[in-house]
Chains A and B, each alone.
Chain A
Amino acid sequence: MRSPDVNAVLAGFRGVAGYLGAVLGADAYRKYLEHHEASGHTSPPLTEREFWRDRTDRQDTSPQGRCC
């Protein structure tokens, strides 16, 4: 059994990691699936590999600015 303190630390760590991941955009595929589900598409969603390929390939023609 883990003590409650350890669990709290682990939860805190997961929270920070989850936040950092979300800022980096690591949850983009999950959000795409949610959207796909919610919008009632009948076609199957892109696979994870297809989704990330499509995402970076579209950035080739629509670059995002990065400031100084």
Chain B
Amino acid sequence: MGTMPEGTQRESTNSSMHATAQLEDGIVPDPSLPPTSVDESVRDSAERTWTPAKIALWAAIALLGGVAWFMLAIIRGETVNAIWFVFASVCTYLIGYRFYSKVIERYLLKPNDRRATPAEYKADGKDYVRTDRNVLFGHHFAAIAGAGPLVGPVIAAQMGYLPGTIWIIIGVVLAGAVQDYLVLFFSMRRGGRSLGQMAREELGVIGGTAALVATLLIMVIIVAILALVVVNALGESPWGVFSVGMTIPIALFMGVYLRFIRPGKVMEVSLIGFVLLMAAIIGGGAVAGTEWGAAFFHLDKVTIAWGLIIYGFIAAILPVWLLLAPRDYLSTFMKIGVIVMLALAIIVVRPEITVPAFSEYAGRDNGPVFSGAVFPFLFVTIACGALSGFHALIASGTTPKLIEKERQTRLIGYGGMLMESFVAIMALVAAISIDRGIYFAMNAPVALTGGTVETAAAWVNGLGLSGVNITAGDLAQTAKDVGEQSIVSRSGGAPTLAVGLAHIMQQFIGGTAMMAFWYHFAIMFEALFILTAVDAGTRVARFMLQDSIGNFVPKFKEHSWRPGAWLCTAIMVAAWGAVLLMGVTDPLGGINTLFPLFGIANQLLAAIALSVCLAIAAKRTALKYLWIVAAPLAFAAVVTITASFYKIFSPVPAVGYFANNAAFAKALADGKTSFGTAKTQAAMEAVVRNTMIQGWLSIIFVVLSIIVIVTAVMATIKALRNTAAGLPNAENEDPARASRVFAPAGFVPTAAERDLVTEWNQHPAGERLEKSGHH
């Protein structure tokens, strides 16, 4: 490292670029290197200069976005074209990214490119590696986006398209992307520390422990409900069971290929895996068409759930190279491909949407797909895509160890989340492009639809929804088109999205003959994303449990100690497996009662993450900018705590777990043999048991989260008081070190960044990197 005396400035031809060397950030850059940051004043003047072309561009974006929002929200025609969803979202994202995330950067986070990132000062060529910003953007996006944004918006479409659209687009700009950006930045400043470690440091033992326990429980719920989505999509579907089942041997083959045959040929094996995957989808149709295939792969939901539980345990104890790593390659490969394809298809096909902006259920709390009013239940039904607490675990995991320059956190953290939000919007568009009658027949529980095409059609037509009139023939024909035996009561969001996607894609490629392929293609990638999340979630939760038990029994902290690893894996799998089985066998329709718990859990995690960010932000910024963190935190807290209170205290049985519990318990006590949708005494007992567990889970979540929020607010007040009194706050950041590299911050480099890159390129390559010689 350079050891020139402090304040020494390097001779330079363009001295204005190097004024930053005089900044008082305690960093002594190596004088032999070009500057590692664009000069503050140069950047400032570039950002604040509004040329006519720049003004025209942003005016056009704002105008197009405004027109699109007008078409979606104000115009009440028969139909609305899907392209307006694309314009409204993309224009709003651009404005949010250019203006709001800049405010956060400038006034709250204040990144300093003169400072080395962990990827630089901890570089080991393995875990801490400087990664090109565009590559890391894709990498981070693939880690945060999965089945979540594809499922929530579909279920929320019960309320009409507008409430969900507004929440997804506005929510991400003001809350979801803010959370991801802050957590990523703060973790990066702390050498890539995890959310749990940061909570412990900032909130103390009580807050930290509550955050850890809450995170663990929340992960169990999230994994269980994702698994439930897969089970619902595969139940009684021989084609789906075959093709998704084939992903296991395909992944095993890829794992062996990479380990023993051609190590490191990741792209090659991913392509082979992709071809095999397509073959499995096509083969699934042929197999399901034969008599033995239809019989052998026709499994009921309980069997599939048990299969998934056993699979989950085995997958979590197998070595990573054999199953998880190859499937992760496949999943990432599919993720990027599918999203590009879906966006292209929607832009090319531009389907007309007949779903109303606000449906009949927007003003009621007894919708068949999920119960509860718009506030707060819409905001917990759509978590991923608008505000997802789970991202805080990713943004404080791998990504901060790969960031090249501090200023790139805005592109990767904020920008990455905007991208996920766009996926959620496209999923919403795909789901609402199908007929509304079919939507309700697919998403209502069997208890309401009766399970057959005749009863389902009669029930849907009896709902009194405007413009809805379906026949049993329509439902049977749709099922036939997508190669399924039935589409009635295929709740969980995934099958509805798959029908919507098949509907759009067949207009793009292949026509009706290809609908069955596209349907199973969609089911396949959703299942692939979810299985990867289930695997990884089980593993992460197991390590968290091992570390927690390790505080009392130190032996458990040894991650390679097999009995400890197996025991903790078994505990985690048993935990999510129990919730999954409860959902599968629930007489009230598992998704319909459990999905709110998924959203509440995810957003309570967001509230926890934002609380930690608030406590950190209070130490580094003035009170007047704390609203950037406080506003989304307050919103998430109000939504989730209100939703939890409804779930705990509501006297309406459809909404409150304990009210439902009391109603069924009373019916049992009265000696009834059937009550509501439970047709047997055993089913009634199941409802009593399930609602009791769900109710207590809600209580535990909300209590833990309130503890975290209260400790965070206390830490925040303490930090603000210290600042006011002129006392220093304890700083948990890693010490600042001088950076020795430069890279632009955004997708498109600015003029000043291009000049600097040129200057670096002219610098002898051998002198650019630090010769540390350690290890």
Contact = CB atoms under 8 A, between A and B. Distances in A.
Interface of A: 17, 19-26, 28-29, 31-36, 38-41, 48-49, 51-68
Contact of A66 (B328, B560, B772): B328
Given A22-B132, A36-B125, A68-B148, 19 more contacts: A21-B266, A24-B266, A24-B329, A26-B267, A35-B123, A38-B769, A49-B264, A52-B259, A57-B319, A57-B320, A59-B325, A62-B543, A63-B540, A64-B143, A64-B536, A65-B394, A65-B397, A66-B331, A68-B222
Secondary structure class of chain A's binding surface, majority of residues: helix
A34 B23 CA distance: 32
Interface in B557-612: 559-560, 602
Nearest to A39: B772
B264 A68 contact: no
Interface string B202-237: 000000000000000000001000100000000000
Given A61-B559, A65-B397, A65-B540, A35 B144 contact: no
A68 B145 CA distance: 6
Contacts of B390: 65, 67-68
A55 B397 CA distance: 16
Contacts of B487: none
A61 B559 CA distance: 6
Contacts of B331: 66
B603 to A, nearest CB: 12
A39 B772 CA distance: 5
A25 B397 CA distance: 16
A55 B126 contact: yes
Interface residues of B, number: 66
B258 A67 contact: no
Interface of B: 123-127, 129, 132, 134-135, 138-139, 142-148, 222, 226, 258-259, 263-267, 270, 319-321, 324-325, 328-329, 331-333, 336, 384, 388, 390-391, 393-394, 397-398, 530, 532-533, 535-537, 539-540, 543, 559-560, 602, 769-775
Nearest to B318: A60
A13 B680 CA distance: 61
A66 B266 contact: no
B328 A19 contact: no
Contacts of A64: 143, 397-398, 536
A29 B436 CA distance: 51
A49 B263 contact: yes
B267 A65 contact: no
A46 to B, nearest CB: 9
A51 B126 CA distance: 9
A28 B696 CA distance: 46
17 contacts: A24-B266, A24-B333, A26-B266, A32-B129, A34-B125, A35-B129, A39-B771, A39-B774, A52-B259, A57-B321, A59-B324, A63-B536, A65-B397, A65-B537, A66-B394, A67-B143, A67-B384
Nearest to A64: B398
B395 to A, nearest CB: 10
Contacts of A67: 143-146, 148, 384, 388, 390-391, 393-394, 533
A56 B394 CA distance: 19
Nearest to A49: B263
A23 B267 contact: no
A31 B333 contact: no
B560 A61 contact: yes
6 nearest A-B pairs in the assembled complex, by CB-CB distance: A35-B125, A68-B148, A56-B321, A26-B266, A23-B138, A63-B539
Nearest to A29: B264
Contacts of A22: 132, 135, 138
Contacts of B332: 23-24
Given A19-B135, A22-B132, A56-B319, A66 B267 contact: no
Given A25-B266, A39-B773, A67-B394, A32 B126 contact: yes
B560 to A, nearest CB: 7
